[in-house]
Amino acid sequence: MITELLLALCTAAFLCLAYRYAWYRPNGFPPGPPRIPLFGSYLFMLMINFKYLHKAALTLSRWYKSDIIGLHVGTFQVAVVHSAEGVREVLNNKAFDGRPGIFVAAMRDPGDDIRGIFFQEGPLWKEQRRFILRYLRDFGFGRRFEQLELVIQEQLTDMLDLIRNGPKHRHELQMVKPGGYRVLLPLLFNPFSANCHFHIVYNECQSREEMARLVELCQVGMQFQRNADDYGRMISIMPWIRHIWPEWSGYRVLNESNVFVHKFFADFVDRALDTYEEGVERHFMDVYIAEMRRSPGYGFNREQFIMGLVDFSFPAFTAVGVQLSLLVQYLMLYPKVLQRMQREIDEVVGCGRLPTLEDRKNLPFTEATVREGLRIETLVPSDVPHKALEDTELLGYRIPKDTIVVPSLYAFHSDARVWSDPEQFRPERFLDAEGKLSLKLDVSLPFGAGKRLCAGETFARNMLFLMTATMCQHFDFVLAPGDKLPDLSQNLNGLIISPPDFWVQLQDRH
């Protein structure tokens, strides 16, 4: 009898503790799903939508009828925000400017610290971001710069030659089929975008003959982007599983990417260090090295320099090409949009020269189409995760210090309360009654906002406009025998949304 009573008491105590563990949340914390040991609420998200976790989070938000939900990802306490008001609050409130120390961020650096810009916080992040952005602007990053525009024109000319005349070098066979006009996206665009960026940083571009390692960098960068996910993947929840299941956990492929990218930029930095001459300013690298000599220490050293360059360069050799490839998918699905863009480009630019940034104000529909592409396919649907630096409030809920806060840019860009028909690809939503681009109508935030605003926004927007206008000026996107129209449901979700590699047939317009 006593044994049975003790067993009943133990069972009741266990059930009570299990219930408390599963459903406990801090006072005033947003509603959300229960948690289970090791996984937290992560398994529930996987069960709802294994492929797109940002959509799983939005489904939970609708289930709980709240624009903000609270959950656990492993041991991490997370708040996910889905309304325009909440997303703007997270992005613009300095109380949410922190970054969580998740394993996917830490494993990028071979050292013991989290360096760079993306996943750094506090005084080091502010100092490094301010310094790098300030001096990169002197070399054309983030502003109109005539010399850089000439470089971009050269790169676009090289890209057009590769498309029309086919590959001349072995590595180009990966991007364009022999004979030309059949191209692999997004790989085709990324090396040329990266070359423009490296001109800013290093004041030189690689020729087509020298581009093999740059093409490999773009491929490996995409490998990293596609094999992580919005919430850090399983290895950020349980880092120890990499020792047991390196393949299944994604550790092997992510680590392979990190090693290659780090070595690429380490070699880049070491070449600059070896050839540095005091008092001679050849490019941005020399400016940073001079600061390293003046202010040696944790903030300005070789390791931080490498990771800072990785973070500032990553979008140039992955994201620009991906975003343009996503737009190509929509132009193939909405041929009338493409035709309207081409008519506008023909009237303003003609066919005797390439489009320039000066043409932008006279190509409102083309610019609106680029902006609509950025909205409807939010490249980073859950943004890079933020962290509460102090106890604070958000949409009436209490957010304890160190909570990971996820502003869902995807939910904001697909919210019918903001956009009357968010599921429709409709560039004219950004045009006023006179057909002119209206920045008041574009409330989208594809690059984030606030102090964590993507530092490369201006560079990315310029590259997207020029590459889009150039491609549409010269080519139609057609279906070769055996081709099918893009299936948007097959697009991949990693740290960014990306299409699977796909071949596109181009046809000259002139």
Of 505, 476, 446, 507, whose CA–CA distance to 320 is shortest?
446
**Secondary structure (3-state) at 4:** helix
Terminal CA-to-CA distance of the chain, rounded, Å? 94
In whole angstroms, what is the distance from residue 267 CA to residue 413 CA?
A: 40
Is there a contact between 29 and 398 (Cβ–Cβ < 8 Å)? Answer: yes
Six-digit token string for 150: 């000439």
Binding site feature residues for heme? 454
Using an 8 Å Cβ cutoff, are 414 and 60 in contact?
no
**HSE-CB of 161 using CA atoms within 13 angstroms:** 11
Residue ranges of the annotated binding site are: 454
What is the CB neighbour count within 10 angstroms for residue 146?
Answer: 9
**Is the backbone peptide bond immediately before 186 cis, with ω within 30 degrees of 0?**
yes
What is d(CA 78, CA 402) in angstroms, rounded to the nearest whole number?
A: 9
Q: Which residue is listed with tokens 């109508």?
A: 441
The CA distances from residue 502 to 140, 176, 506, in Å, are 32, 11, 13
CB atoms within 10 A of CB 450: 17
The phi and psi torsions of 95 (rounded to 5 degrees) equal: -65, -15
Label residue 505 exposed, middle or buried (CB < 10 Å: 0-12, 13-18, 19+): middle
HSE of 483, CA atoms in CB hemisphere, 13 A: 16
User: For strand 502-508 and strand 182-185, is the pairing parallel, antiparallel, or unpaired?
Assistant: antiparallel
Triad 11, 12, 16: Cα angle to 5°: 115
| DSSP classification of residue 452 | G
Gyration radius from the chain CA atoms: 24
- Pair 465, 360: CB distance under 8 Å: yes
> Is residue 235 within 8 Å of 500, Cβ to Cβ?
no
Give residue 53's region: left, alpha or beta (phi > 0; psi -120 to 50). alpha
DSSP state of 97: B
What whole-number distance in Å separates Cα of residue 430 and Cα of residue 437? Answer: 6
Phi-psi region of 106 (alpha: psi -120 to 50; beta: other; left: phi over 0): alpha
Three-class SS of residue 145? coil
Q: How far apart are CA 137 and CA 312, in angstroms?
A: 13
Sign of the Cα torsion 206, 207, 212, 214 reads: positive
